[in-house]
């Protein structure tokens, strides 16, 4: 790997870690496009509970991984929501980077054997 590519990858990883660990705490708590579309046609009370109408959100179910350590954009057991969200985002970036790097390493290794 060239030195320039190494610096580029390290810089990209640092930017992604910063975005996931710090900037993610400032994300909007409002429903995104999918949630907003799923809620169309229903009426809601102040707590966000469905009070009438017909919409896709009425068929919403609990996620199967709701009890996992990283469920809900946070880390279970960490009471500080900012720290929990930041660490969860950083962990996600590192796992994704590791899987991607491993995949590229395998492909590159296979190409070397073929040559």
Q: What is the DSSP string of 80-112?
A: -HHHHHHHHHHHHHHHHHHHHHHHHHHHHHHHH
Domain that holds residue 51: 3-114
Measured CA to CA, the distance from residue 20 to residue 87 in angstroms comes to 8
Helix, strand, or coil here: 43? strand
Residue 67: its pLDDT value, please?
85
Helix (H, G, I), strand (E, B) or coil at 29: coil
pLDDT digits (tens, 9 = 90+) for 69-99: 888 888 999 999 999 999 999 999 999 999 9
CA dihedral sign of residues 56, 62, 70, 107:
negative
Each residue's pLDDT tens digit, 10-48: 999 999 999 999 998 888 777 688 888 999 999 999 988
**Cβ contact 27:81 at 8 Å:** no
Residue 115 has pLDDT above 70, yes or no: no
Total domains present in the chain: 1
Compute the chain's Rg from CA coordinates.
20
What integer pLDDT is reported at residue 106 of this predicted model?
A: 92
* Residue 1 pLDDT level (bands cut at 50, 70, 90): low
């Amino acid at each position: 790997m060239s030195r320039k590519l190494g610096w580029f990858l390290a810089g990209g990883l640092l930017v992604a870690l910063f975005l996931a660990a710090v900037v993610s705490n400032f994300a909007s708590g409002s429903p995104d496009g999918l949630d907003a579309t799923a809620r169309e046609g229903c009426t809601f009370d102040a707590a966000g509970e469905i009070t009438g109408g017909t919409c896709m959100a009425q068929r919403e179910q609990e996620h199967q991984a709701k009890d996992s350590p990283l469920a809900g954009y946070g880390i279970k057991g960490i009471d500080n929501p900012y720290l929990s969200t930041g660490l969860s985002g950083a962990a996600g970036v590192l796992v994704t980077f590791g899987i991607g790097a491993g995949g590229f390493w395998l492909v590159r290794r296979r190409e070397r054997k073929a040559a």
